[in-house]
Amino acid sequence: MKIMLVDDKPHVRNHLKLMLKQLHFKEDVILEANCDQEAIRLITEHEPDIIVTDAKLLLLGEAPLSERLANAQYPQSTIIVTSSHPFVLEAFSKGGIVSLLKPIATGELEGALMRAFAVTG
């Protein structure tokens, strides 16, 4: 299982990595990206199964990650969206996308990964 963490804040990515290690999740590779361009490059090269991304990087910017993923031939990945704004996550949840409110608790991450893992199998 390849998991990619996309957030422009290194401390958030480090916290997520630490939680993954604490959970003893069966990831083969943990990839990290700090911007949408780096995320696209890593997605192309490594084809992650699960992408845990900040909503801001997914939706905003000149070329939002969501548009680039939708308009290109990238491998299908299960996406988990994170944000510190509940109203942002509410919209994703209504669309059936797994979302987590920051700061993320270990149990919440575990539940989201289990749901994502069930989808990717």
Structural domains of the chain ordered from first start = 2-120 (3.40.50.2300)
Q: If you average pLDDT over every residue of the chain, what do you get?
A: 85
74, pLDDT greater than 70: no
Count of beta carbons in the 10 Å neighbourhood of residue 101: 14
50, pLDDT greater than 80: yes
Asked if residue 50 lies in contact with residue 117, where contact means CB atoms within 8 angstroms, the answer is yes
Sheet containing 29-33, strands listed edge to edge, beginning at the edge strand earlier in sequence? 29-33, 2-6, 50-54, 78-83, 98-101
What's the mean pLDDT in 11-36?
89
% of the chain residues with pLDDT over 90? 39
120, pLDDT greater than 80: no
CA distances from 20 to 8, 53, 99, 104, 120 (A): 18, 15, 17, 12, 17
Q: How confident is the model at residue 64 (pLDDT cuts 50, 70, 90)?
A: low
